């Protein structure tokens, strides 16, 4: 049976645009007032919507910041599945993580501000790590399935995925500490190389 196609409707597009606008307004308020000083009511007022409308799009103020990461795991898993079978796991993971860097390439100033906000806010930092932890099963499955077999992910697959995500976080920390002056893909290459035998 062929896989079901994902169709984007006009409603999905409109919802995505509203979410993006609400997230932009929230991020601006977090930057000017500080994450801990802003309530959901403040966010709704800044965006010109009711509290209930804001909460229909984001379940919490945390989600207004971290919602951008929701699809990263799926994109990285898809990129990993598409890597050449002959490529070793570590190289395939490194190349697949390029999709997670797209946001940082596209809008480095905004990405730097967001990364700094997340890094400097313990609740956001913990939630980002939680989101990334949720990516692990899909990435481990993609790594196991790259050979075309029905092999279940092994401990080795899980460890490689965890190490790759840690490399990503270390590279992001160094990039943020450099105020975005260092090249993020090069930092990620360096982090991966540090674990290469």
pLDDT tens, residue by residue, 84-124: 999 999 999 999 999 999 989 999 998 999 999 999 999 99
Specify the CATH number for the domain of residue 78. Answer: 1.10.357.10
CA torsion 118-120-124-126 (nearest 10°) is 110
pLDDT (0 to 100) of residue 146: 85
pLDDT tens, residue by residue, 159-193: 999 999 999 999 999 999 999 999 999 999 999 99
Give the number of other Cβ atoms within 10 Å of residue 11's Cβ. Answer: 8
Mean pLDDT of 40-62: 93
Domain that holds residue 44: 10-65
pLDDT band at 82 (very low <50, low <70, confident <90, very high): very high
Identify the residue whose tokens are 């190389």.
193
31 and 128 inside one domain = no
81 and 40 inside one domain = no
Transcribe 83-123 into DSSP letters.
S-TTS-HHHHHHHHGGGGGHHHHH-HHHHHHHHHHHHH-HH
Domain count for the chain? 2
95 and 51 inside one domain = no
């Amino acid at each position: 049976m062929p896989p079901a196609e994902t169709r984007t409707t006009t409603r999905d597009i409109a919802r995505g645009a509203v979410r993006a606008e609400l997230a932009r307004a929230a991020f601006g308020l977090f930057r000017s007032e500080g994450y801990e000083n802003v309530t959901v009511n403040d966010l709704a007022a800044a965006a010109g919507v009711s509290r209930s409308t804001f909460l229909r799009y984001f379940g919490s103020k945390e989600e207004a910041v971290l919602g951008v990461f929701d699809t990263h795991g799926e994109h990285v898993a898809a990129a990993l599945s598409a890597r050449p079978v002959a490529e070793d796991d570590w190289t395939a993971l490194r190349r697949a993580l390029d999709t997670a860097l797209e946001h940082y390439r596209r809008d480095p100033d905004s990405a730097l501000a967001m990364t700094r906000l997340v890094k400097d806010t313990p609740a956001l930092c913990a939630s980002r790590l939680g989101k990334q932890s949720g990516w692990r099963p899909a990435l481990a499955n993609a790594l196991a399935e790259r050979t075309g077999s029905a092999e279940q992910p092994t401990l080795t697959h899980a460890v490689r995925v965890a190490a790759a995500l840690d490399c990503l976080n270390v590279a992001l920390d160094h990039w943020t500490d450099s105020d975005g002056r260092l090249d993020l893909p090069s930092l990620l290459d360096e982090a991966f190389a540090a674990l290469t035998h």
